[in-house]
Amino acid sequence: MEYLLKPFTIFGDATGSLIAIEALKDIPFEIKRVYYVYGTAEHAVRGRHAHRELEQVIFCPIGSCDFILDNGKERLTVTMNEPNKGLYLKGNIWREFTNFSTDCVVMVLASRHYDESDYIRNYDQFLKEISQ
C-alpha cells in the first residue's frame, strides 16, 4: 500500500524550530477543520474507522505513536515520530492509532467539517464498501 509521508521544511536556529503549513500549497485541500489528540493512554487504540470522503494530513508534532493503515488487502504500520512529517490520507482506508508516548500530540488537518455520516466505524462494513 502506498502512502505519502510528506516532509516539511524545519526553520531552525539556536533558539528552536518552526514548521509552517499552508493550505492549498503544502496541503492539497482547503483546511476546514483542525483537531488534536493528547493525553492518550499508551496502549489505547483510537481511530478504528475509515472515512468515505474526508482527506486529512496528520502530524505528530510532539512524541510518537503508530498509525496502522489497512486498505482491506494489506495492513501496515507507520511510526510517527518526526514533527515535520505529515501523513496524507485520502480515500477509504481503515486506520487505528496506538503505542502513544505519554507526551504524544496528534494534530489533524481535515478537508471537511465533522460529519458522523462520513465515518465507517464497522470493519465488516468497511470491507463491504471497498468491494463495491
DSSP annotation string for 42-66 = TT--EEEEEESS-EEEEEEEES-EE
Could you tell me which residues are beta bridge partners of residue 107?
A: 36, 59
Query: Taking Cα atoms as reference points, which of 57, 62, 67, 64 lies closest to residue 108?
Result: 57
Distances (CA, A) of 75 to 33, 56, 67, 80: 27, 19, 10, 16
Q: Which active-site residues does the annotation give? A: 49
Q: Does 35 bind ligand TYD (CB under 6 A)?
A: yes
**Min CB(22)–ligand TYD separation in Å:** 21
> Applying CB under 6 A, which part among 10-18, 24-32, 44-52, 123-131 lies near ligand TYD?
44-52
CB-nearer residue toward ligand TYD: 11 or 114: 114
Q: Does 46 bind ligand TYD (CB under 6 A)?
A: yes
Binds ligand TYD by CB under 6 A, chosen from 6, 26, 32, 33? 33
Binding site for ligand TYD (CB under 6 A): 33, 35, 37, 46-47, 49, 114
